[in-house]
């Protein structure tokens, strides 16, 4: 039986928004948590995890990172992965060769980090004074940060924690033995594809192709094998063609018959439910855009608009900010107005309450000195 678009949409919501009893369980289930440095009102990784970890508070991932079996690394984007997923990607190969001067800088910096055990970029910069470079967005970045990022990507360093959001680095004890056997290489690539598909399922065919191609950055040593891996994935995954679009999802997951509960959820812009903008428009019939880097005059939704999910439909968005020790919430709706059902108002109020507890708004208000 061919699934309807509505059933695929319910699957996307119910399969992703599963509450786990612990943070490690949630990260293992997701396979990858995308990170973003903007905090409005919290970082994307925290906004994602708040819906999937019972009792989660903003900053829990950063506070507990050192004790968790996870790594920061580049997957299809930058974020947090279980160590089992991290191991599938390393050792990375076929990387640009370093010039003699860069190689010397890397050796010196690695010796410095090993001697320190843990190094803050500010300490490294003060010791070596590397200067600045042009970053990805055309601006100026610390050459130290750029070099640390490159060494981290190459597997020479690992992120051991954060200080006010800034990555702290330590030496990485790694196994540099190359993966030679064809069967093991294929198994690793297939495993990484399965992680991505499970996280974002169900995925339209163009998104599946994009995700597999994006793995060229996670496993540059196997980028020439990804095209064949995509063909294997299409044969391995469950598949249906609905309304002219081919959809894929893990073969061990069935499509749900029941819909989600009445809860209203304010999602991160990179939450798995809404991350794929192509799928977003297929499911909900309007275009959501992340506008943090859009000039103010051209913004339609807001600086960090959070998609508003009610039941299995994204019906609008919210912009949240701290104000006078509390939480200021501004809402927008695709229909031009909020749903008139009493259940919606009740559930929206409940979501704002959950957001305040997640942000510890009431705790911060109590900590403010009295006038």
The model's pLDDT over 53-85, given as tens digits with 9 standing for 90+, comes to: 999 999 999 999 999 999 999 999 999 999 999
Taking a C-beta distance cutoff of 8 angstroms, is the pair 34, 48 a contact?
A: yes
- What confidence score (pLDDT) does residue 133 get? 54
Distances, alpha carbon 176 to alpha carbons 90, 91, 93, 179, 253, in Å: 8, 6, 10, 9, 35
Q: Where are the alpha helices (DSSP H) in 171-252?
A: 182-200, 205-218, 226-236
Tokens 């469950």 correspond to 238
- What confidence score (pLDDT) does residue 367 get? 44
Task: State the Cα–Cα distance between residues 284 and 335, nearest whole angstrom.
Answer: 12
SS3 content of the chain, % helix, strand, coil (to 5): 45, 20, 35
- What confidence score (pLDDT) does residue 144 get? 85
The predicted model gives 83-107 an average pLDDT of 94
Task: State the Cα–Cα distance between residues 156 and 148, nearest whole angstrom.
Answer: 9
Task: State the Cα–Cα distance between residues 35 and 78, nearest whole angstrom.
Answer: 6
Q: Of 144-153, 208-217, 243-252, where does mean pLDDT reach its minimum?
A: 144-153
Q: Which two tokens stand for residue 334?
A: 């695709």
pLDDT in tens, 116-156: 999 999 999 888 875 555 544 344 457 888 999 999 999 99
Taking a C-beta distance cutoff of 8 angstroms, is the pair 79, 65 a contact?
A: no
| Among candidate residues 26, 29, 12, the one with its CA nearest the CA of residue 200 | 12
189 preceded by a cis bond (ω within 30 of 0): no
- What confidence score (pLDDT) does residue 204 get? 98
Residue 161 has pLDDT above 60, yes or no: yes
Give φ, ψ of 140 to 5 degrees.
-100, 130
* Residues in contact with 136: Cβ distance below 8 Å, sequence separation at least 6, in sequence order: none
Task: State the Cα–Cα distance between residues 317 and 264, nearest whole angstrom.
Answer: 11
The predicted model gives 195-216 an average pLDDT of 98
Q: Of 150-159, 208-217, 292-301, 320-329, where does mean pLDDT reach its minimum?
A: 320-329
| Among candidate residues 286, 276, 222, the one with its CA nearest the CA of residue 248 | 276
- What confidence score (pLDDT) does residue 127 get? 87
Taking a C-beta distance cutoff of 8 angstroms, is the pair 310, 264 a contact?
A: yes
Q: How far is CA 248 from the centre of its chain?
A: 20
In the chain, the percentage of residues whose pLDDT exceeds 90 is: 85
User: Residue 104 half-sphere exposure, CB side, CA atoms within 13 Å?
Assistant: 5
Residue 370 has pLDDT above 80, yes or no: no
pTM of the model: 0.92
The predicted model gives 92-113 an average pLDDT of 94
Which CATH number is associated with domain 100-171?
A: 1.10.10
Higher-confidence residue of 254 and 1: namely 254
- What confidence score (pLDDT) does residue 363 get? 58
* Residues in contact with 238: Cβ distance below 8 Å, sequence separation at least 6, in sequence order: 248, 249, 250, 251, 253
* Residues in contact with 149: Cβ distance below 8 Å, sequence separation at least 6, in sequence order: none
Torsion on CA atoms 351, 352, 353, 357, rounded to nearest 10: 100
Higher-confidence residue of 236 and 322: namely 236
* Residue extent(s) of CATH 1.10.10 domains in the chain: 100-171
- What confidence score (pLDDT) does residue 140 get? 41
Q: Note the residue count of the chain.
A: 371
Quote the mean pLDDT of the chain: 92
Q: Which two tokens stand for residue 249?
A: 């999802």
Residue 279 has pLDDT above 80, yes or no: yes
Residue 96 has pLDDT above 50, yes or no: yes
- What confidence score (pLDDT) does residue 369 get? 37
């Amino acid at each position: 039986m061919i699934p309807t678009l509505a059933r695929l949409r319910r699957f996307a919501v119910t399969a992703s928004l599963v509450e786990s009893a612990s943070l490690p369980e949630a990260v293992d289930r997701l396979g990858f948590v995308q990170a973003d440095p903007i905090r409005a009102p919290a970082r994307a990784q925290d906004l994602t995890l708040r819906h999937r970890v019972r009792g989660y508070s903003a900053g829990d991932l950063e506070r507990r990172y050192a004790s968790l079996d996870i790594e920061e690394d580049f997957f299809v984007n930058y974020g947090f992965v279980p160590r089992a997923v991290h191991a599938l990607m390393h050792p990375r190969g076929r990387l640009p060769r370093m010039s003699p001067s860069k190689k010397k800088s890397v050796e010196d910096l690695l010796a410095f980090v090993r001697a320190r055990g843990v190094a803050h970029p500010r300490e490294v910069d003060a010791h070596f004074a590397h200067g600045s470079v042009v970053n990805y967005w055309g601006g100026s970045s610390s050459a130290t940060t750029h070099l640390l990022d490159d060494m981290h990507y190459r597997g020479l360093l690992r992120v051991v924690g954060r200080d006010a959001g800034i990555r702290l680095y330590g030496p990485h004890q790694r196994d540099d033995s190359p993966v030679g056997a064809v069967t093991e290489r294929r198994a690793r690539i297939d495993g990484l594809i399965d992680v991505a598909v499970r996280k974002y399922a169900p995925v339209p065919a163009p998104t599946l192709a994009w995700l597999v191609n994006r793995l060229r950055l996670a496993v540059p040593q196997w980028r020439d094998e990804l095209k064949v891996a995509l063909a294997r994935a299409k044969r391995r995954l469950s598949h249906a063609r609905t309304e002219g679009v081919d959809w894929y999802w893990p073969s061990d997951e069935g499509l749900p018959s029941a819909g989600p509960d009445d809860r209203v959820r304010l999602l991160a812009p990179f939450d798995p439910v809404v991350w794929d903008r192509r799928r977003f428009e297929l499911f909900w019939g309007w275009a959501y855009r992340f506008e943090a880097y859009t000039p103010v005059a051209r913004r339609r939704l807001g600086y960090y608009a959070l998609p508003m999910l009610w039941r299995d439909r994204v019906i609008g968005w919210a912009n949240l900010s701290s104000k006078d020790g509390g939480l200021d919430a501004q809402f927008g709706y695709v229909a031009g107005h909020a749903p008139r059902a009493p259940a919606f108002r009740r559930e929206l109020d409940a979501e704002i309450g959950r957001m305040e507890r997640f942000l510890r708004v009431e705790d911060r208000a109590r900590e403010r000195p009295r006038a």
